């Protein structure tokens, strides 16, 4: 199994690049953002519980996302590997993921960390807010709250995986195809190693 984490601040291109990577490498895409938005769209009790937090740009509680990932791993026993997008977002989530994968006799092969300036992140998210129905992209205050959550709680996830030498930084600004090429280069290097 080849499991990777696509890491980066909100708007760094995780969702965009994930779509291409899963098509090329045949990985199962697990985006906690998508899973949570599906719960909201389906008006499930879980969706109702997280709706306001997400709209305010705050992270949802660790127990909720860890449980969602646990179920998703159980439901996909025969895949080539997983691409985790937007998860883990806290050190507690990273430790839980490592444990769940170890129970299945596998681990994270690489963490690809997209690097994008704050100015560009805000520009991209406001732009998406104009064309999508994502309530967390509509104004600069909510976007700033998401970036603050990232700095306070999520940036530490890279430090967690750095301890195991698993983090590779990739320039996340510029042409989407070019960034995809850089990500593929890192994955291919890991696959032959
Ligand atoms: P996510 O759904 O993960 O959303 P995101 O961080 O905003 O990034 P996303 O992947 O959507 O955007 P992308 O960078 O691809 O999270 C949303 C919320 O869910 C969180 O705030 C939180 O509340 C909750 N949540 C999710 N997971 C959680 C967890 N594990 N724990 C707790 N809470 C959790 O793209 C952004 C825009 O940039 C797009 O419009 C795209 O077209 C554009 N773009 C991409 N690449 C570009 C490029 N190279 N050049 C120009 N534009 C580009």
Full set of structural domains in the chain with CATH: 3-182 (3.40.50.300)
Integer Cα distance of 6 and 21 in angstroms: 10
Q: How far is the CA of 12 from the centre of ligand 1 (A)?
A: 7
Q: Is the CB of 14 under 6 A from ligand 1?
A: yes
Collect the ranges in the chain with pLDDT lower than 70.
193
Count CB atoms within 10 A of the CB of residue 100: 15
The pLDDT score that the predictor gives to residue 45 is: 95
Q: Give residue for tokens 């969602």.
A: 68
Distance, CA 122 to ligand 1 centroid (Å)? Answer: 11
Pair 28, 84: CB distance under 8 Å = no
Atom of ligand 1 nearest to the CA of 34: 2
Q: 162-174: string of b/e by CB count within 10 Å (b at 16+)? A: eeeebbbebebee
Instruction: State residue 134's pLDDT score.
Output: 87
Residues linked to residue 5 through DSSP beta bridges, in sequence order: 84, 111
| 23 token code pair | 């098509």
Helix (H, G, I), strand (E, B) or coil at 91: helix
């Amino acid at each position: 199994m080849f499991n990777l984490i696509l890491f980066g601040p909100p708007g760094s291109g995780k969702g965009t690049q994930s779509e291409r990577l899963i098509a090329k490498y045949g990985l199962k895409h697990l985006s906690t953002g998508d899973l949570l938005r599906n719960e909201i769209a389906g008006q499930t009790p879980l969706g109702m519980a997280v709706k306001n937090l997400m709209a305010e740009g705050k992270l949802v509680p660790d127990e909720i996302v860890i449980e969602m990932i646990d179920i998703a791993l159980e439901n996909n026993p025969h895949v080539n590997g997983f691409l985790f997008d937007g998860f883990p977002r806290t050190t507690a989530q990273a430790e839980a993921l490592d444990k769940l994968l170890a129970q299945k006799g596998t681990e994270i092969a690489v963490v690809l960390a997209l690097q994008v300036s704050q100015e560009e992140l805000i520009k991209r998210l406001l732009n998406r807010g104009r064309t999508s129905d994502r309530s967390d992209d509509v104004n600069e205050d909510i976007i700033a709250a998401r970036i603050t959550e990232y700095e306070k709680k999520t940036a530490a996830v890279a430090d967690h995986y750095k301890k195991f030498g698993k983090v590779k930084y990739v320039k996340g600004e510029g042409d989407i195809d070019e960034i995809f090429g850089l990500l593929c280069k890192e994955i291919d290097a890991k696959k032959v190693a």
